[in-house]
Amino acid sequence: MSKLVAFAAIQGGYKVVSAAEGELRNALESFDASSKIEFPNTGYYLPVIYSLTGMKVETLEDLKKPLEFARGLLPPHVKGKNHLPYLGPLLDAGMAAIFSYEILEALRILREPDFYLSQEDPDIEAGKIWVGPADDVILRKRGVEFVDGSAPGFAAIVGAAPNPEIAKMIVEDYQKKNLYIFCAASHNGTSVIEQLIEAGVQIGWNTRIVPFGPDISSAVFAVGFANRAAMAFGGVQPGDYRKMLMYNKERIFAFVNALGDIGTEWGTAAAGCVNWGFPTLADTDIPEILPTGICTYEHVVANVSHDEICQRSVEIRGLKVTVSEINIPCSFGPAFEGERVRGADLYCQMGGGKSQATELVKMAEMKDIEDAKVEVVGPDIGDVQQGGTLPLGIYVQVAGREMQTDFEPILERQIHHLINYIQGIMHIGQRDIAWIRVGKGALEKGFTLKDIGVVLHAKFHQDFGKILDKVQVTLYTNKDEVDNLTKRAKNEYKFRDERVEKMTDEDVETYYSCTLCQSFAPTHVCSVSPERTGLCGAYNWMDCKASFEINPTGPNQPIEKGECLDPKLGQWKGINEFVNKASRGAVTHYNLYSLIHDPMTTCGCCECIAAMLPACNGVMTVSRDYTGETPCGMKFTTLAGVMGGGASSPGFVGHSKFNITQGKFILGDGGLLRMVWMPKNLKEEIKERIMKRGADMGVPDLYDKIADETVGTTEEEILAFLQEKGHPAINMDSLVG
């Protein structure tokens, strides 16, 4: 039976390569050979071709070489009797097809630059339902989820289910399992994506349902995404095809679900995916390939019923997904985090300016609270008319032998995403500016406010069981009680902020390491101090401390900073020893407060990258959500590519957004007063803190002196601006001296 698969897939390989050759010929007739070929806003050229062969495609002309390579991979057709072995040839044909699919997609983008809507969510009203290749902002944001394991992998679904209900059932099952769902191709004139839209399911990166494209060739974006993640976070070098594919086999738990009739073009794509160790499960009667080897377990499994396809897929890929079984009427999981409740879907809301909504987590004595007690004090949403509002106070009390008041804000911060995990509920903001929107769908399923308490109780126990023993949740919906809680909460927030804000690196003897991303970036080691939060922006010193208490053998380990070797640049003996060991000798030392002299290493996950601008005697920084050019001559993606290998690169350093206004931010090089350029959005995002920090450093109008892209994106353009505004960096000591 495998022979039939081989026969079809090899035939498919020929078909696809020929199609790409035809398209390339056509393109060369109507476009100049030097026309630019790219997936917009992505690094790594055409990523599958680049990652596996090292060939850089930048122009139309450049496509010839990889296409010739693909043609060369095509094996002889499989003969009827006494045939030659076909497994290797079959995989080669599949790879040839995948290269060709990538070329076909690149040509499509050349012909129709607006075919794909390059953003997280499609614009369904405008008919732009396909998002195409994920740009680097999405890659980095989502890549982190692959790093920390919150997204174990993806289901690549091609074709269409028999009806929209089945499509919805399958996809929601994957969402509950935290997997991404990458969709492409159609069957019987429709696609899973169109079926989901019809069934009212929100699609887009935010709900992990990614509408890549309408054709089977669009499925190439899925493997392209996987390979880009391996290059960005895994340090896999372009051209090292064996390592690349093994990385995917071992770490990226992905598989293909083929819904509908499998022709040669699907077959050859499936064969190509086997090279990655991604198996195919089909709902049709096709020949199976059960022996293991290239994939971890089975390669092709057929006739899978729609009820079972999710469970079987996950098993066949060798993946264990723990679905949080929480006793609420709605589905629950990270995949629903990014889901929105739009106006038309809204049933009622709490907070967001319409009413007060406040959240507070407080430590309690063991004897004072009752575990699992969830109480709604006041009316519930069933008592509210459609379109109505309620005030809300979420008061969580936790107790435990290991609990400390320091952990209160950490637990409190979980509330945002935990409520968002509930399907049909949207949560925005935090503290006393929270905003909860309840969708009609959730209400129909029977959602009540009590379910928020149920979720918080269950997840706090699940995720923080080591530090707490009891969780009690009270939900106030009467105005007076909410106001009381808010008043009390405000005092708490003030106290907490001052404690953290005031904490300096000198106050503590222990910093924390963070090796959370080491499974993806082997030599990178973050050192987190009170005045230098983790460069991903997700972990500050207090978080690391709590994380260590919660999980003493986990990725956050205490480092005794030891003897201070350089107070200005921020170098300690203990830190150096730890870094040397944790990087296995790759990095012997670094400075926490400098980007000029032996700066800290950078992984692929950093929020911002700062770079030296010698002509301006200052530095710039760029955040990953800014896709334009910068004065250092490199876009964020290019910078991240240069920096992301876990090496210390003088002149560049990765950092978090929050770190920009922390006291020790590149203090050895002159601190925030060196900052001469930032993207406008970033600047506005942290405006107040820049103003405050500027004032503290003696330059109250620093904010207005920092250039952004509206001023210019070259050093010459911004230098004039700096001189005009009298930016403090101009007159500081020479940066490089």
The CA-CA-CA angle for residues 670, 674, 680, to 5°, reads 145
The DSSP result for 653-675, as a single string, is EEE-TGGGGSTTTTGGGTGGGGE
In angstroms and rounded to an integer, the radius of gyration of the C-alpha atoms of the chain is 27
Binding mask 112-151 for another protein (x = CB under 8 A): ------------------------------------xx--
- Contact pattern for another protein over residues 449 through 468, marking x by CB under 8 A: --------------------
Kindly state the smallest distance separating residue 255's Cβ from another protein, in Å. 13
Collapse the DSSP code of 376 into the 3-class scheme (helix H, G, I; strand E, B; otherwise coil) and give the result: strand
**Residues present in the chain in total:** 737
Q: Which of 8, 78, 309, 381 binds another protein (CB under 8 A)?
A: 78
Spatial neighbors of 177 by CB under 8 A, at least 6 apart, are 152, 310, 314, 321, 323, 333
Our finding on whether 723 is near another protein (CB under 8 A) is no
Q: Is 519 in the site for another protein (CB under 8 A)?
A: yes
Task: Give the separation between CA 662 and CA 675, rounded to whole angstroms.
Answer: 13
Q: Which of residues 255-284 bind another protein (CB under 8 A)?
A: 275
Asked if 647 interacts with another protein (CB under 8 A), we say no
Tokens of 710: 């509206």
> Which of 54, 88, 379, 387 contacts another protein by CB under 8 A?
88
Neighbours of 504 (CB within 10 A): 13
Q: Which stretch binds another protein (CB under 8 A): 318-326, 397-405, 459-467, 527-535?
A: 318-326
Under 8 Å CB-to-CB from 581, ≥6 apart: which residues?
A: none
C-alpha to C-alpha distances, 396 to 51, 238, 369, 463, nearest whole angstrom: 48, 49, 10, 15
Among 67, 161, 286, 294, binds another protein (CB under 8 A): 294
Cβ neighbors of 358 (< 8 A, separation 6 or more) are 351, 392, 393, 394, 431, 432, 434, 482, 485, 486, 489
Under the criterion CB under 8 A, does residue 73 sit at the interface with another protein? Answer: yes
Burial of 318 from C-beta contacts in 10 A (0-12 / 13-18 / 19+): middle
Q: Judged by CB under 8 A, does residue 1 bind another protein?
A: yes
| 25 scored as a contact of another protein (CB under 8 A) | no
Secondary structure of residue 38 in the 3-state scheme: coil
The least distance separating another protein from the CB of residue 96, rounded to whole angstroms, comes to: 10
Place of tokens 């995403």: 417
- Binding residue for another protein, selected from 33, 84, 366, 377, defined by CB under 8 A: 84
Q: Count interface residues toward another protein (CB under 8 A).
A: 50
For another protein, the binding residue among 200, 293, 353, 614 (CB under 8 A) is: 293
Q: Indicate which single residue of 319, 364, 508, 647 sits in contact with another protein (rule: CB under 8 A).
A: 319
Rounded-to-integer distance, Cα 554 and Cα 512, Å: 11
Per CB under 8 A, the list member of 22, 40, 54, 85 interacting with another protein is: 85
**Cβ-based nearer residue to another protein, 66 or 439:** 66
Quick check: 322 binds another protein (CB under 8 A)?
yes
Among 245, 376, 485, 611, binds another protein (CB under 8 A): 245
Q: Does 82 bind another protein (CB under 8 A)?
A: yes
Which residue among 338, 522, 558, 651 contacts another protein (CB under 8 A)?
Answer: 522
81 binds another protein (CB under 8 A): yes
Return d(Cα 721, Cα 704) in angstroms, integer: 11
Contact flag: residue 485 with another protein (CB under 8 A): no
Helical residues (DSSP H) of 375-407, grouped into ranges: none
Q: DSSP 3-state assignment of 259?
A: strand
Among 18, 35, 292, 504, binds another protein (CB under 8 A): 292
Structure tokens at 556: 């956050």
Query: Does position 208 bind another protein by CB under 8 A?
Result: no
Which stretches of the chain bind another protein, using CB under 8 A? 1-3, 6, 52, 73, 78-79, 81-92, 95, 148-149, 152, 241-242, 245, 250-251, 253, 275, 289-294, 297, 299, 314-315, 318-322, 518-519, 522, 555
